[in-house]
Amino acid sequence: MELFSEVGFSCSALFGSTLSTSLVNNFVTLQKIQHTMQLKIQFTLLAFILLFFGSCTKEAGEGGSSTLKGRIYGYDINTSGIVTDSAAVQDARVYISYGDNTTVDDDTRSSYTGEYAFRGLRKGTYTIFVYSQCNDCPFNQEVKKQVVEITEANQEVLVPDIVIFD
């Protein structure tokens, strides 16, 4: 109980026996609280590290090195429903959704040859879609889509042609 004896004085000599016991008990209690706080901080830090590094699975989307490429092909149909012409569709707006998303994550335009590409993608499943004319559909449009998967980095996936009617 003579905590300060190493520095040349005695607690009981300075404060009396009861007071020195109280100081020592308070000091020990403070040491226990400090140790408990250190353990809580260490536990919190460990939990954060596990949470951060344990959830490093990457979802489909940008940030990778793979490419999805395809072509939009169109048919012109007259009012009788007969195909009058067909060709690659230039300047068509092409959309992509990442993973299970049901909204548009990105879009691009097709070239004069009807080709398009989405670059810089990670492994995952993607839905490529365009809008096609449809006289019997709400707003006279329907979605034409292809679901494709990138299975490895640096992969170039060729999406089957998407055919639209105009």
**Strands 141-150, 124-133: parallel, antiparallel or unpaired by DSSP?**
antiparallel
Q: Are residues 79 and 158 in the same domain?
A: yes
Q: Are residues 22 and 100 in the same domain?
A: no
Cα–chain-centroid distance for residue 1? Answer: 59
Q: Are residues 145 and 80 in the same domain?
A: yes
How many domains are contained in the chain?
Answer: 2
Q: Are residues 67 and 138 in the same domain?
A: yes
Would you give the end-to-end CA distance of the chain in angstroms? 94
Residue type, 148: V
* Domain CATH for 139: 2.60.40.10
Range of the domain at 128: 62-165
Q: Are residues 90 and 45 in the same domain?
A: no
pTM as predicted: 0.63
Along the 166 residues of the chain, how does pLDDT read in single tens digits? Answer: 455 445 555 555 555 566 566 666 666 676 777 767 676 766 666 555 545 554 455 677 778 899 999 999 999 988 888 889 999 999 999 999 999 998 999 999 999 999 999 999 999 999 999 999 888 888 989 999 999 999 999 999 999 999 999 8
